[in-house]
Amino acid sequence: MRSVPFKLKWLFLALLLGALAIIPLTGASTYLVVFFFFLFMFVVLATSYDLVGGYLGYLNLGHSVFFGIGAYTFGVLFLHKVNLSLSFTLSAALPMLFAASISYPFFRLRGAYFALATFGLIRLLELLAQNLTGLTGGSGGLSIVSGFNLTTAYYAALCLVVAVVLTSVAVNRTKFGLALTSIREEEDVASALGVNAAAYKSMTLIISAFYAGIMGGIYMWYITYIHPSSVFGLRIALQPIVMAMLGGSGTVGGPVVGVVFLYFVDEFLMTKMAYLHVAVYGVIMTLVGLFMPGGIMRNARFKYFLKWVK
């Protein structure tokens, strides 16, 4: 099977990016722009999660805590009249600092123990957000006045999608990614062969926290109001992970394909059968898990597409 020429791939991607870039300029409805903004948000979250969950092989169920920290950091700073650029910078920096601080103790755990420990972070941060009333607004939420920034937030999220996908491509094609794969396959052997597993794991977690954190800042800037369960709840925690796994965790295109598929399905169910939304969504995920356990990108019917994106 011949692969698609390299130049043709980039031409197609450039045309796709151009089409997405002009959507807000075509007089499209607000609904369509919002739809794609949240699609971009989930692409960023799913792809940044997959740096750890896919390439490194550690199931980080607490990835959304970086998103929540970024959102609250931006909101608190912006509320206290800190300028926009510094608010965005710190909305990325604080999640990275938090990731660095937890990387050593958490990466001493493996398998289900690591997954459970990171899952506990979600509840811990949600409780902190509820109880630090003077800082976060508690269960009543945090609100800012930033104006209607949908178009600007759209472009910021689109730029972040490009950056995180290029990061995934770089990881997939460099010695850094090879080191992560060796850790995923057999960490003890990789360490014995000279791979500094602790450094690679910590760096990967910090990179994933950067993208999730700054996406949280952009989200807060646009939505203007958050509460603990909206950024630390189970939906925002698990949905990007499910999307990455559905598309094919550990591949460049997997998280993107999973997000596009599930987000469109989710939107259709919400508008057409709201009462059965959760039930039908669960049935779809069960069927996919039974018949495509490796994800869409590893399914035989998608072999050509998988060869195309490599």
Whole-number average pLDDT of the chain: 88
Q: Taking a C-beta distance cutoff of 8 angstroms, is the pair 207, 125 a contact?
A: no
- Read off the tokens for 78: 């912006």
Q: What own/partner pairs with CB < 8 Å and gap ≥ 24 does 297-301 have? A: 297/247, 297/248, 297/251, 297/253, 297/254, 297/257, 298/248, 298/251
Q: Is residue 134 part of a domain?
A: yes
Q: Is residue 184 part of a domain?
A: yes
Q: Is residue 15 part of a domain?
A: no
- What is the arithmetic mean of pLDDT over 287-295? 74
Cα 63 from Cα 304, distance rounded (Å) = 31
Q: Is residue 244 part of a domain?
A: no
Q: Is residue 252 part of a domain?
A: no
pLDDT of residue 11: 82
Q: Is residue 268 part of a domain?
A: no
pLDDT digits (tens, 9 = 90+) for 156-212: 999 999 999 999 999 988 899 999 999 998 888 888 888 899 999 999 999 999 999
Report which of 123, 140, 154, 127 is spatially closest to residue 226, judged by C-alpha positions: 140
| pLDDT > 70? residue 301 | no
- What is the arithmetic mean of pLDDT over 26-39? 91
Q: Is residue 306 part of a domain?
A: no
Q: Is residue 106 part of a domain?
A: yes
> How many domains is the chain partitioned into structurally?
1
Q: Which of 141-145, 203-207, 243-247, 294-298 has the lowest average pLDDT? A: 294-298
Helix axis angle, 64-79 relative to 111-131, nearest 10°?
20
Confidence tier at 1 by pLDDT (50, 70, 90) = very low
The residue segments making up the domain with residue 96 are 29-232
| pLDDT > 80? residue 16 | yes
pLDDT digits (tens, 9 = 90+) for 95-132: 999 999 999 999 999 888 999 999 999 999 999 999 99
